[in-house]
A and B are shown apart, each in its own frame.
Chain A
Amino acid sequence: AQKITQTQPGMFVQEKEAVTLDCTYDTSDPSYGLFWYKQPSSGEMIFLIYQGSYDQQNATEGRYSLNFQKARKSANLVISASQLGDSAMYFCAMREGLSRGNTPLVFGKGTRLSVIA
């Protein structure tokens, strides 16, 4: 079974509008972390935001916020006031077993966001 599911292969958003990128995850581990990365056409992976499973509040980083709904196992990324430079692939990722120590990131298939002027 897929650990991370991103159901939107591609999304379009008008410049200055907000957009939500969906991510659902599957784990039975109570201790896990959720990450969002941005990958522009140049190829590098840029860390955006992190949410821990025990965090009480939704994470925010500038124009990025994470809508964490633990019971529904979803961790959607919200980008406010979209800019042309936000056009990129966006990946949701999870690390399970934080209490066990060193576990790898597992990535979803990604969503390609295109911002329209």
Chain B
Amino acid sequence: EAGVAQSPRYKIIEKRQSVAFWCNPISGHATLYWYQQILGQGPKLLIQFQNNGVVDDSQLPKDRFSAERLKGVDSTLKIQPAKLEDSAVYLCASWAGTGGYTGELFFGEGSRLTVL
């Protein structure tokens, strides 16, 4: 079974530029998450999708971040314009269930963003 795929693995941009990250979850997983992990900290949820609908985007800085999951499969996270404090690893995770006992989340390898 293929895991969660993310690209690019690394990206370096100047502040005020834009960047996009792509995630393809495990086949059949209805729920997809984007987490931001700043160096030395635990992952922080940015947005959660169930199929192609947003479940929780309360911590997404909507003035600069946007995300979509149009067909309920892969997802794109965009930052425009980027700030220095956006330097982090962006982790995508997916989960098979839709409620009840959870099972674990499966994570991709992450996309490391450096903003100069």
Contact = CB atoms under 8 A, between A and B. Distances in A.
Nearest to B30: A102
Contacts of A50: 102-104
Interface stretch (B60-68, B77-85, B107-115): B107-115
Interface residues of B, number: 31
B98 to A, nearest CB: 6
Interface residues of A, number: 26
Contacts of B33: 104-105
Interface stretch (A13-21, A65-73, A77-85, A106-114): A106-114
Interface in A23-80: 33, 35, 37, 42-45, 47, 50, 52
B100 A106 contact: no
Interface of B: 31, 33, 35, 40-45, 48, 50, 55-56, 89, 91, 93, 97-110, 112
